Amino acid sequence: MPTNGLSFYEIQVSVAPLSINFAFDALTADDISVVVIATNDTRLVLEEGTHYSLDFANKTITCLLSSWTADPYLPIYPSSDIRIYRTTSVLPLIDFKPGAVLNEGDLDTAYKQGLFAAQEMVEDAADTGAGIQSVTSAGIADGAVISDKIADDAVTTIKIDDGAVTSTKLATNSVTAFQLAATSVDSSKLVNNSVITAKIADNAVETAKIANANVTQAKVDKASQSEMESQSSTDGVVTPDVLKYSPFSPRCYGSVGVASDTDETFVNGYNVASVSANNAERTINFTEDLDTVDYVVLLTIKGTGAAYNAPSVVSKATSGFVIDLNTTTASGRAIDFVVFGSTFA
pLDDT in tens, 16-63: 678 888 888 999 999 998 887 776 677 778 889 988 999 999 999 998
CATH of segment(s) 252-341: 2.60.40
**What pLDDT is recorded for position 58?**
95
Residues of the chain with pLDDT below 70 are: 1-7, 11-16, 39-40, 71-80, 124-139, 307
Extents of the domains making up the chain = 9-134, 252-341
Q: What is the DSSP letter of 169?
A: G
CA 176 to mean position of chain CA atoms: 14
**What pLDDT is recorded for position 298?**
96
**What pLDDT is recorded for position 191?**
87
Cβ-count burial 175-208 (b if 16+ within 10 Å, e if not): eeeeeeeeeeeeeeeeeeeeeeeeeeeeeeeeee
